[in-house]
Amino acid sequence: MNLLGAQVIKLSDEEFKLFRDMVYEYSGILFQDHKRYIIENRLSKRLKQLNFSTFKDYYYFLKYDRKRDDELVEVMNLLTINETYFFREPGQLRHMIQVGIPEVLKTKTDRTLRIWSAACSTGEEPYSMSILIKESGVLPAGYKLEIVGTDLSANAVEKAREAKYRKISFRSTDAKYMRHFVSQGLEYQVNSDIRLPVRIERANLLNPLDMSRYKNIDIIFCRNVLIYFDKESKQKVIDSFQKALQPKGYLYIGHSETLYGISEAFRMSNFGEGVVYTKK
Ligand SMILES: C[S@@+](CC[C@H](N)C(=O)[O-])C[C@H]1O[C@@H](n2cnc3c(N)ncnc32)[C@H](O)[C@@H]1O
């Protein structure tokens, strides 16, 4: 039984290792031993839906069935942690408006500002950026804005595209920004002018083919996801960011994350409310 009283299917030591390695290889997310209950609890329901009685049977399905790719998408929907909200870690967003964007505009050779919100979950981060850029007027007339939000979870991507949010997503939102939303029952939808520059796509940070789609980016936000990765996966992701970014492009990562010992391709600066990395 789990905490909600639902019957869970037992995950043996051997099965845990098989699932842990499969998830790690696919996504870079590393489930340590003390997190095995997450796999057991969250996937048990799926096993029952598909009529598998053991994790081993489900593992072989995921490994060899011709529907394995679609089912792996389901697995990642169930195992990712999609916690996010509007205007999270506002110091970094402020820095982007006051320093990041003005600085990258100085060296740009074209008139499109490209921002990538990598691992954006349900989209609150890219829409927060779009609101702040519009309100601040930091982008000079004649410039085009492109914000791409990406995530591994297909469910999160679908929600981000819908752009409809419940109150919980606004727990850190100043009331003055609510004019960019229209209330629809229990939800608030992002206004179309804020949605317009934002494109949402499913992309796996660990998949080189997915990552190769992102080029000439001026600013990357990748916050609160590297904590789930080990050193090797972090290095792969940062290497992709280094390739995607323009020279002197900006990279913002989560407050509890660091590139120390991961990459030498970036210069770190401390701006009081946090740190920011620029491509050397
Ligand atoms: C805690 S949320 C962070 C959302 C947002 N960046 C923020 O800071 O509020 C972490 C997100 O990382 C995504 N994620 C985990 N592994 C990923 C991968 N390999 N590729 C892309 N996204 C991934 C999850 O699906 C989840 O939505």
Interval 165-184: pLDDT, tens: 999 999 999 999 999 999 99
Going by pLDDT thresholds of 50, 70 and 90, the confidence category of residue 232 is: very high
The domains found in the chain, sorted by start residue, are 13-79 (1.10.155.10), 90-279 (3.40.50.150)
The tens digit of pLDDT for each residue in 171-225 reads 999 999 999 999 999 999 999 999 999 999 999 999 999 999 999 999 999 999 9
Centroid of ligand 1 to alpha carbon of 220 (angstroms): 14
Which residue's CA is the nearest one to ligand 1's atom 17? 152
pLDDT exceeds cutoff 80 at 27: yes
Q: Report H helices in the chain.
A: 13-27, 36-49, 55-64, 68-79, 90-95, 101-107, 124-136, 154-162, 192-195, 208-211, 231-244
CA 83 to ligand 1 centroid distance, Å: 8
DSSP β-bridge partners for residue 201? 150
- Using the atom order of ligand 1, give the atom closest to the CA of residue 27: 19
Kindly state the greatest CA–CA separation across the chain: 61
Q: Are 96 and 219 in contact (CB under 8 A)?
A: yes
Ligand 1 closest atom vs CA 76: 25
Nearest CA to ligand 1 atom 10: 225
Ligand 1, atom 2: closest residue by C-alpha: 82
Q: Give CA separation, 82 vs 75, 206, 248, in Å.
A: 14, 17, 30
Task: Choose the residue to mutate in 22, 121, 127 for probing ligand 1, maximizing ligand atoms within 8 Å of C-beta.
Answer: 121
pTM: predicted TM-score of the whole model, two decimal places: 0.96
The kind and range of the H/E element at 114 are strand 112-118
CA quadruple 82, 88, 91, 93: dihedral sign: positive
Q: Model confidence at 151, in pLDDT bands (50, 70, 90)?
A: very high
Ligand 1, atom 5: closest residue by C-alpha: 120
Judged against a pLDDT cut of 80, whether residue 1 lies above it is answered with no
- What confidence category does residue 7 fall into, taking pLDDT thresholds of 50, 70 and 90? confident
Residue 4 pLDDT level (bands cut at 50, 70, 90): low
Residue range 69-93: mean pLDDT, rounded: 97
The closest-lying atom of ligand 1 relative to the alpha carbon of residue 222 is 6
Q: How far is the CA of 245 from the centre of ligand 1 (A)?
A: 19
Q: Are 221 and 117 in contact (CB under 8 A)?
A: yes
Tell me the pLDDT band of 3, cut-offs 50, 70 and 90. Answer: low
Q: Whose CA is nearest to atom 27 of ligand 1?
A: 121
